[in-house]
């Protein structure tokens, strides 16, 4: 099976609330996670909510990393989507889990853009 990308959805629990509520820190962690995975960072956009919480995205040449935090619950929702073979999304995900000081997490990987080649597709191409 040939896929265009790998998409990890992570549920990260038991995180340090102070880390999750620090927009500068969350942005630095997300950017460094992308770099740790071997990605090329293109743009970043983060927002601090009142009274708490941070949301943001790191746009990479290979796709994106996104985060939404709930410091009051010690919880972060993270997704890491990478295309190509040069970037490992699990490296980014594991880095984020470590830096958020998570007690536990679950994650699932979905292959995106699975290419299925049929006789009809071959004829059209």
Give CA angle at 11 (7, 16), nearest 5°. Answer: 125
- Note if 47 is an active site residue: no
Chain centroid to Cα 67, Å, comes to: 7
The H or E element containing residue 26 is helix 23-36
Catalytic residue flag (residue 93): no
Q: Pick the catalytic residue from 13, 17, 61, 68.
A: 68
Which is catalytic among the residues 61, 63, 73, 118? 63
| 118 flagged as catalytic | no
Exposure string over 70-86, b if 16+ CB within 10 A, otherwise e:
bbeebbbebbbbbbeee
The set of catalytic residues is: 63, 68, 83
């Amino acid at each position: 099976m040939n896929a265009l990308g790998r998409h990890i959805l992570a549920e990260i629990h038991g995180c340090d609330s102070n880390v999750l509520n620090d927009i500068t820190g969350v942005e630095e962690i997300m950017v460094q996670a992308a770099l740790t995975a071997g990605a090329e960072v293109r743009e970043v956009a983060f927002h601090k909510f009142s009274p708490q919480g941070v949301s943001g995205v790191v746009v990479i040449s290979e796709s994106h990393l996104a985060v939404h935090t709930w410091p009051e619950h010690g919880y972060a929702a993270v997704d890491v989507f990478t295309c190509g073979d040069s970037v490992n999304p699990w490296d980014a995900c594991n880095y984020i889990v470590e830096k958020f000081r998570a007690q536990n997490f679950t994650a699932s990987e979905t292959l995106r853009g699975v290419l299925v080649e049929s006789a009809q597709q071959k004829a059209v191409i």
